[in-house]
Chains A and B, each alone.
Chain A
Amino acid sequence: MYHKRGIWAIKAKHGGVFPRHEPKEAPPKPAEKPPKYYPADDVRHPIPNHRKHKPTKLRASITPGTVLILLAGRFMGKRVVFLKQLPSGLLLVTGPFKINGVPLRRVNQAYVIATSTKVDISAVSAEKFDDKYFTKEKKKKKNKGESEFFETEKEETKALPQEKKDDQKAVDTPLIKAIEAVSDLKAYLGARFSLRAGMKPHELVF
């Protein structure tokens, strides 16, 4: 092993001695005082975790403007336009709403088939959307009195704030213009995808 690592050659280059660096001058540590208090029991401290997640690697077939097929959830089978990847790794996607009822929505890459059809998305700016835009608002806790235990709480149906409706319109109008420029694309996005007899998913080209 000594010979394989070539230690003999390094030694020969440096006159028979393996080169050594002098240890760096460490900065002088401040004098530690003995602690005033020793806890009675040994306390286990959790090891701090400093790992930061990177956003999920985006598949090469998914680029801004790609038509995606959603595979799960309420909009299963719907064909949808991809806008951008959010910092959490989820994909920002829109129907457009007027065409197939899918609003601006987050979707996981794993539940999506990327088709090779692309829509021109240059006129759409999706810069302002991030994960905070999509978080649910926290429900305020009500103080429970005894009488209220027996009453069923009426769920307040939250109407969609006008701001979100305006955002949807702002994203969709240039997108719909680009979609109508291609023949049949609007009907294509309005239709759901399904497997028929004889279709083999592993042989289909999307």
Chain B
Amino acid sequence: MPFKRYVEIGRVALVNYGKDYGRLVVIVDVVDQNRALVDAPDMVRGQMNFKRLSLTDIKIDIPRLPKKKSLIAAMEAADVKNKWENSSWGRKLIVQKRRAALNDFDRFKVMLARIKRGGAIQKELAKLKKQNAS
């Protein structure tokens, strides 16, 4: 089982610790064995320890240390945002955020919806069981 996600220029990573927790950033240069120079469209370029980054599958095509404008253009061309939001990891994070922001009334409505869905499933199951038995 070889490695599949490498630290390289253009690798998109998720920040998993610190002030920028949850932000998607692009590795723009490597400082030394432990740190990378990291950039995102809405952030000042800065260094970050690799321990703070979780590498993703997404990679974009950029030269070393691109200008902010060309970085944004490259991200648009590779469609990073949509690729991330459609990936299972990205979708999970979106669902987690949505659940955390639920109101008490919303949680009640979700409970009613789950019971309703369960009821519909059980009805179909009972029908199929009956068909199978006969």
Q: Nearest Cβ distance between residue B100 and chain A, in whole angstroms? A: 7
- Residues in A neighbouring B103, C-beta threshold 8 A: 115-117, 205-206
**A58 contacts the other chain (CB 8 A):** no
- Residues in A neighbouring B109, C-beta threshold 8 A: 184, 188
Asked if A184 and B104 sit within 8 Å, CB to CB, the answer is: no
Interface residues contributed by chain B, number (CB under 8 Å):
9
**B121 contacts the other chain (CB 8 A):** no
Chain B interface residues (CB < 8 Å from chain A): 100-105, 108-109, 112
Which chain A residues numbered 83 to 136 have a C-beta less than 8 Å away from chain B? 115-117
- Residues in B neighbouring A7, C-beta threshold 8 A: none
Asked if B102 and A188 sit within 8 Å, CB to CB, the answer is: no
Asked if B112 and A117 sit within 8 Å, CB to CB, the answer is: no
Interface residues contributed by chain A, number (CB under 8 Å):
16
A183 to B105, CA, bound (A): 11
Q: A184-B112, A187-B112 are in contact. Are A67 and B105 (CB under 8 A)?
A: yes
Apart from A116-B103, A116-B104, A205-B104, list 9 A-B contacts with CB within 8 A: A115-B104, A117-B104, A185-B105, A187-B108, A188-B108, A188-B109, A191-B108, A204-B104, A206-B104
Q: Nearest Cβ distance between residue B21 and chain A, in whole angstroms? A: 15
Q: Nearest Cβ distance between residue A188 and chain B, in whole angstroms? A: 5
Q: Nearest Cβ distance between residue A202 and chain B, in whole angstroms? A: 12
- Residues in B neighbouring A187, C-beta threshold 8 A: 108, 112
B99's nearest neighbour on chain A, judged by CB, is A205
- Residues in B neighbouring A205, C-beta threshold 8 A: 100-104
28 contacts between A and B (CB under 8 A): A67-B104, A67-B105, A69-B104, A79-B104, A115-B103, A115-B105, A116-B103, A116-B104, A117-B103, A117-B105, A184-B105, A184-B108, A184-B109, A185-B105, A187-B108, A187-B112, A188-B105, A188-B108, A191-B108, A193-B104, A203-B100, A204-B104, A205-B100, A205-B101, A205-B102, A205-B103, A205-B104, A206-B103
